[in-house]
Structure 1
Amino acid sequence: MWLMYAILAAVSFGMRGISYHWTSQQGFDRNLLLCGAFTMGAVVNLIAAIATGSAWGAASLVGILMGLFSLGGNAGMFKGFAVGKASLVAILTALPSVVVVIVAYLLWGEKLHTMQLIAFLIIICGVLLVRYSNDLSLRNLQGAQWGLLAMLMFAFNDLSGKWSTMIGAELFPSMFFLFTTGAICFGLWWLADLRKSRMQASELAAAVEVSGKSAAVDKAAAGIVPSRLRTFLIGMAVGTTNTVGMFFIITAFDLGKAGLVSAVAALNVIIILIYTRFVVKESFSRTELAGIILAFAGIVIMRLFGT
């Protein structure tokens, strides 16, 4: 049963990755959009918790930790898609399962069998081929850095999700705290950036006197509110993919091993790469394609022989 939930999580997270890539290319404010995405998750899980009569125990507070890791992962993925090569970022965000397998073995004794180690080495070789492909530019290296951050944050988020099931935390209250934490953090981040931009605008206005500037500023300000509202609402729509994905993956963690669940969920990269190839029209060099194939093979091996 865990396999079905893990596959559904992979599909949901694949759609999340596609949504992040599309919105990152449209010039939306990242922090406001992700604030909307996490707000949607908080609202949905609050309603679900009330409807199901879930218990709001202290164990549910682990959702705050999950929210902080999810904050880092989502911000890193969005930034990576905005400044780097989508296929490279997608590959890196498929690797949390490697970290999860190793840490789960160290913390909870989930054994790392020979085939898991082989899968780990194959995945690393694949990523190195992608990393050192001939057409990898400095711009793409920057995207790789953000992709690496997302990888680590999503790995710790997966581990926190597994831990929440081990300590008996209720699903919906935990997810409410997860998404509320993310919404608050992204909201504060957006307000800080907004304050900074306003200060810069004030300094510029004080330094430059332009005839009719006040009217122009007022006219521009009139369009700010609808733009912000649109960004927030689109973020809420995008947030449905993340909300559904988290529901499926935490349910899978409750039924299966952390490393195996995370590995299957990592297959969301297939959906993202299909999108980048046929919609974004992003071409792959031979070396890069070989690296992608190796990374896929490693994930599949980990899935097939991870038990």
Structure 2
Amino acid sequence: MWITFSIFAAISFGLRGILYHWTSQKPLNRNALLCGTFAMGALVNLIISISISSSWSLACLIGIQMGLFSFGGNASMFKGFAVGKASLVAVLTSLPSVVVVIVAYFLWNEKLHLLQLIAFLIIVGGVLLVRYSNDLSLRDLKGAQWGILATLLFAGNDLSGKWSTMMGAELYPSMFMLFTTGAICFGLWWLKDRRAEASSATAQIAASSESTTLTSGSIATPAKAIRWSDFRTFLIGMAVGTTNTLGMMLIITAFGLGKAGLVSAVVALNVLIVLLYTRFIVKDKFTRTEIAGMVLSFLGILLMRLFGA
């Protein structure tokens, strides 16, 4: 049954990735959007928790740790889509299972047998091919650094989720803690942005007034994309949050039924959805080496699923 929840979680996270890429190209405040995304999750899980009279135990506080990891992972992935190549970022953010299986082995003795190890080596080989095909350098990472950071943080989120199920924490209270923590973090960042923008606007008005007294004519300024209002951005973030909320609910349920590494690996298939989007909608062109790397990554994920039991 865990694989069913994992597959649906992969679909949800794939849609989230598409929406993140789409919104990352729009003139909006990233932190207002992500605050709305997490606020939606907090609202949904609070309503469900109250309606079914969930038990709020100390173990639910693990959700705060999950929220911090999720905050960092979502911010990094969104940043990667904004500044890098979408297909590359999508592949890199699909690989937290590599970290999860290794750490789970040391923490909870979730053993990695030979065929699983081979599958992981295939996945890593695929990622290295993708890296090689993009000619990445320390000066031109094409968003890879953000994709790698997101992978590590999402792995921490997955491991925390597995820990919460082992401690007997109920799903919805834990998810409420997760999303509330994320919403607070992005909300504070959003508030900082607003203060910085207010200071910048004041300085521009002062500079404009001084310039007007020194010149007699008007100066034409280039057209600039009208930025979305923070209220509109927040509401769109709440809409995006439905995919993130559903995905988190499904993956935590799957963690309660299966091994952490295997669940994380199947959920990593969400990259298929994002890559199809980047190929046919964004029109990213794939080189032969890049395609080979992606195929190897997917093959490794499938092999891990096959030999993971």
Aligned to 2:73: 73
Question: How far apart are 1:139 and its partner, in Å?
Answer: 8.2
C-alpha distance 182-195 of structure 1, shift in aligned 2 (>3 A): same
Does the CA contact (< 8 Å) of 2:59 and 2:168 recur in 1?
yes
User: 1:146-183: per-residue Cα shift (whole Å, max 9, x none)?
Assistant: 00110001000000000000001110000000000000
User: 1:257-298: per-residue Cα shift (whole Å, max 9, x none)?
Assistant: 000000000000011101111111111011111111111111
User: 1:94-132: per-residue Cα shift (whole Å, max 9, x none)?
Assistant: 110000000000000000111111111111111111111
Aligned to 2:223: none
Aligned to 1:84: 84
Higher helix share: 1
Aligned to 1:217: none
Residue type of the alignment partner of 1:73: G
Does the CA contact (< 8 Å) of 2:80 and 2:143 recur in 1?
yes
Matched, 1:5 2:11: no
Higher mean C-alpha displacement, 182-191 vs 226-235: 226-235
Aligned to 2:273: 271
Question: How far apart are 1:57 and its partner, in Å?
Answer: 1.1
Does the CA contact (< 8 Å) of 1:83 and 1:139 recur in 2?
no
C-alpha distance 20-108 of structure 1, shift in aligned 2 (>3 A): same
Q: How does 1:231-250 map to 2 (within 5 A)?
A: 231-250=233-252
Using structure 2 for the length normalisation, give the TM-score.
0.92
Q: How does 1:53-202 map to 2 (within 5 A)?
A: 53-134=53-134, 136=136, 141-202=141-202
Question: How far apart are 1:60 and its partner, in Å?
Answer: 0.5
Find the aligned partners of 1:18 and 1:139 in 2 and give their Cα distance: 27
Question: How far apart are 1:138 and its partner, in Å?
Answer: 7.3
SS for the counterpart of 1:196 is helix
Structure 2 stretches lacking a partner, 5+ long: 214-225
Does the CA contact (< 8 Å) of 2:85 and 2:142 recur in 1?
no
Aligned to 2:220: none
Does the CA contact (< 8 Å) of 1:83 and 1:140 recur in 2?
no
Residue type of the alignment partner of 2:83: V
Question: How far apart are 1:200 and its partner, in Å?
Answer: 2.2
Find the aligned partners of 2:139 and 2:42 in 1 and give their Cα distance: 35
Alpha-carbon RMSD across the aligned residues, in angstroms, is: 1.7
Q: Runs (4+) of structure 1 moved beyond 4 Å?
A: 134-140
Structure 1 stretches lacking a partner, 5+ long: 213-222
SS for the counterpart of 2:133 is coil
Over the matched positions of the two proteins, sequence identity in percent amounts to 71
Q: How does 1:215-294 map to 2 (within 5 A)?
A: 227-294=229-296
Higher mean C-alpha displacement, 115-124 vs 196-205: 196-205
Find the aligned partners of 1:169 and 1:247 in 2 and give their Cα distance: 13
SS for the counterpart of 2:143 is helix
Matched, 1:39 2:39: yes
Find the aligned partners of 1:16 and 1:194 in 2 and give their Cα distance: 26
Residue type of the alignment partner of 2:298: F
Does the CA contact (< 8 Å) of 1:85 and 1:140 recur in 2?
no
User: 1:40-92: per-residue Cα shift (whole Å, max 9, x none)?
Assistant: 00000000000111011111011000000000110011000000001100011
Aligned to 2:222: none
